[in-house]
A and B are shown apart, each in its own frame.
Chain A
Amino acid sequence: MQTVMMCQALESPNPHPCNLLTCALYCDLSSASHSLFLKESQSSSSVVADNGLEYEAVIGIETHVQLGTATKAFCSCPSQYGAEPNAHVCPVCMGLPGALPVLNDKVVEYGVKLALALHSEIALTSKFDRKQYFYPDLPKGYQISQYDVPIASKGFIDVDLPVEFGGGHRCFGITRVHMEEDAGKLVHAGGERLSGSSSSQVDLNRAGVPLLEVVSEPEMRTGLEAAEYAAELQRLVRYLGISNGNMQEGSMRCDVNVSVRPKGRPQFGTKVEIKNMNSFSAMQRAIDFEIDRQVTLENEGLGHQIKQETRLWEEGSQRTISMRSKEGLADYRYFPEPDLPEVTLTQDYVDATQAMLPELPNAKRRRYESLGLSMQDVLVLANDSDVAAFFDEVIGKGTDVKQAANWIMGDLSAWLKNEKLAITETKLTPAALAELIDLIKDGTISGKIGKEILPELLQNGVSAREAIEAKGLSQISDAAVIESMVDAIIAENPKQVAAYRGGKTKLQGFFVGQVMKVSGGRVNPALLNKILLSKLNC
């Protein structure tokens, strides 16, 4: 079995600029001679086919991220989702004769932010190109994109796989990041696709919306890895505040390329593109299905039937179906965009942007790990930057880390889910939660009481102390008081006492319940049990 090893990034001929800290545990390197190192319990990255050959999948992902800028990439139309068709258009994004594009610099700013977060090399000078083809949703007959000089290249992204799937770290290469504009949308009457519908309508609201295209190195090996890569990318763009990364809304779209090859063979197999996956789980299922399909064909000696084509993931039937054959590569006749000057950045600007980046998900996860939290907890807490910020503030008050984590992931999270609110939308402040946890720790109230008053804090923003006073809920820890309560209950329930002393020790719970009822649940449970047992067992 392969063992854990230090990242060979610096020794290999093609050094992969991984974060050494991450790679200290597990690292997937780009050169074909390195195979994947996995924890024992995890599903294998290779598929053993019936013919005995071990195949591995080679997966690459192209992601389009719609940027949350106020206006479009090249004009001042609002960039908004869900408006009336063709409500946000102008001569520029409609491609009317005589209209000219002018670059929205927020797009460059967001591009640099993402490029830096992906540890990539930023091109201080880059340019735009026209990518030409005819389609009704492409108003100018060309898309303004970046072809040979993208804004960034050669980066990487750190991913932590979910604990329930075996966990583990991965480090995937990023080939490039570039800026481009989105096309409009076609609405087909009478069908889901162009073929088979009676007419189509064009909505150009989306035409000209800025996109960042991120292309990964083909380093993922399973549907899970691909899905987690996408999830991490989503996490990144949300952390950076450049996109809401919502796959259902279409603000993040992933196209996947899948091929298989016998393990150890350096040449890639035939590449199949898969589109139409609207969630991470769909991505995972689609890829796993496709890998299976291809390996099965190879296994049956029908490998030649794997064509270079585009397939659609059908959520209903849970399979990929052939869309159309990619007749070779389309000739987009790329050509430098003459209407837009070159994009020039200064190193100062890049450095300043770098300095302004928030703590990114991976750094946060490593920091939480170092606090002693379990990987499970780390992944939940660091997933959403608002939750993480809240958590950081709570522990910043000196509160017990594990307690803070439990409260946030448990009761707080459940309440939020029920009320359909975000953590930033409640009246509970991190300070209030910290206080609550401290009050439980020092015995002023029991954990149970704490859970009871939490909704008060969430809905009305009162502090724990205020809630306790208002309801008179402070924990009773005076031994004398508890003793007298216990005495009373014992006196009132001679039958149960006799039964207990006769051997039915389970009745302890009954007595505890009675005392709790009488005291309104305020008795210190540990103390109660101690006193009760001493009185019952005498």
Chain B
Amino acid sequence: LNAYLTLTEERAMAQAKEADRELAREGRVPRELKPLFGIPMAVKDNLVMEGVRTTAASKMLENYIPPYTATAVERLEKAGAITLGKTNLDEFAMGGSNENSAFGPVKHPLFSDRVSGGSSGGSAAAVRAKLCQFSLGSDTGGSIRLPASFTGVVGFKPTYGRVSRYGLIAFASSLDQVGPFAETVEDVAQIFEVMSGFDAKDGTTARLKKENYSQALKAPFDFKSLKIGVPQEYFVEGLSADVEKSVREALEFFKAQGAELVPISLPHSPYCIAVYYIVAVCEASTNLERFDGVRFGERPASALQAQSLDDFYKKVRAGFGDEVKRRIILGTFALSSGYSEAYYTRACQVRRLIKNDFTEAFKKVDVIMGPVAPSTAFKLGEKSSNPLEMYLNDLYAIPANLAGLPAISVPCGVDSQKLPIGLHIIGDAFSESKLLSVAHAFQKGRVH
């Protein structure tokens, strides 16, 4: 499958042995202090872990060993989770199919000639193939939800600011969020509960009270009071017929239970991809400037013979993959003098309009539903020749990142070729309790 890049066998065994000792000592599982006691997890390889090779699927970091651990991972390990290894991804989280990894693509767990989706392809595949109980991914433009939809697992992106980004190798600082993959929404809620919360080391985390998400799921769900927004802009040409059918069936399920389907409009939807591919690449181009081969990272032999500082930098940074280079060049251009106003500033302004669309919509509805991706898992190599085609895949997922909203992909069916389809549910900012309740009610209520 190529889901894992690094296995942390020693660490896992040590953690497991320690857990055994603790179990023997306590006589029972210390669930209050360690709600994830003994549960095996996989971590996307763009989250740093002290002493563990972290590559971001790039040749630049092929042998990089970080001296510290990401907050999200630290919290999970403290809660008892055992790390089995680091999973494969698109290089620096840039991609939608996990074909941009410097260490080979991730294959779909059910269909080995297809992609798992990206950029958190490895994390999604690992859960689907039961190579771990849950995994961590990151979502900047759909990188958790898309692979979740493709592989048929639950993938959740929290509100921007809910989970610390300290230790997440930055792609786009104002869009990135860390989130979990699992088979059930219940598991996702529990993992999220442990990971989330203010972190003094990340200035963008929200200072909000801790919430008990698993508790929220236990309450019986009141479908009758649920208002679901269905954006008219989402059901258009380009959306695969099977996907549309499956999503509409899901909506019908809710309706049958008493929920109200409310047609809404998100008028700035057509601009989402353009805005994303300016904002994200601009932020990415600056975030990746630190990869200069001076303090860490690979220095190819050619760089060691460089004739000048400039030459050194050029030779070191030639180690980036094509997609990463593409985005760095785009971002640098869009921020350069004379263009910055027209591209970056403008994109930020339109981003606000996109966010306003949602603010308006959430005055009328509780959640917004639609497809996660316009298609199901495509074949390896099918979309690699045209990057733009690949970008269009992110159409439905991107708006939630731009608006900083929480969103989840829950399996809702399969297409004619038995490829999984995910239902996309978007909630209002910081409304994870409600969002997870809706997702959980759907998963519990629907039997496949």
Contacts and interface: CB of A to CB of B under 8 A. Distances in A.
B292 A98 contact: no
Interface in A85-122: 91, 94-103
A525 to B, nearest CB: 71
B290 A95 contact: yes
Contact of B203 (A96, A101, A194, A335): A101
B332 A98 contact: no
Interface stretch (A5-13, A139-147, A243-251, A437-445): A139-147
Contact of A339 (B203, B292, B335, B340): B203
Interface string B41-66: 00000111000001010000100101
B313 A340 contact: no
B395 interface: no
Interface in A46-104: 91, 94-103
B286 interface: yes
A517 interface: no
The interface centre, meaning the residue of A99, A100, A142 with most chain B CB atoms within 10 A of its CB, is A100
Nearest to A102: B203
Interface in B128-148: none
Interface of A: 91, 94-103, 130, 132, 134-136, 139-142, 194, 202, 204, 331, 333-335, 338-341
Contact of A134 (B46, B54, B170, B313): B313
B337 A331 contact: yes
Nearest to A194: B309
A103 B169 contact: no
A134 B56 contact: no
A100 B201 contact: yes
A98 to B, nearest CB: 4
B265 interface: no
A199 to B, nearest CB: 12
B173 interface: yes
**At the interface, is chain B mostly helix, strand, loop or mixed?**
loop
Given A333-B335, A333-B336, A98 B204 contact: no
B48 A333 contact: no
Contacts of A142: 286, 289
Given A91-B68, A97-B48, A103-B203, A130 B290 contact: no
Interface in B300-334: 309, 313, 332
10 contacts: A97-B66, A97-B170, A98-B165, A103-B203, A136-B309, A140-B290, A202-B295, A333-B340, A338-B173, A341-B203
A130 B335 CA distance: 11
8 interchain residue pairs of minimum CB distance: A141-B289, A338-B173, A333-B335, A97-B169, A338-B174, A98-B167, A331-B337, A95-B290
A333 B332 contact: yes
Contacts of B292: 134, 136, 141
Given A102-B202, A136-B294, A91 B67 contact: yes
B289 A98 contact: no
Nearest to B164: A100
Contacts of A341: 203-204
Nearest to B294: A136
A134 B340 CA distance: 19
Nearest to B48: A98
A141 B316 CA distance: 14
A334 B345 CA distance: 11
B37 interface: no
Contact of A335 (B48, B54, B67, B340): B340
B168 interface: yes
Contacts of B340: 333-335
B282 interface: yes
Nearest to B200: A102
The interface centre, meaning the residue of A91, A136, A338, A341 with most chain B CB atoms within 10 A of its CB, is A338
Contacts of A339: 173, 202-204
Contacts of B66: 91, 96-98
B201 A98 contact: no
Contacts of A194: 309
The interface centre, meaning the residue of B48, B68, B166, B294 with most chain A CB atoms within 10 A of its CB, is B294
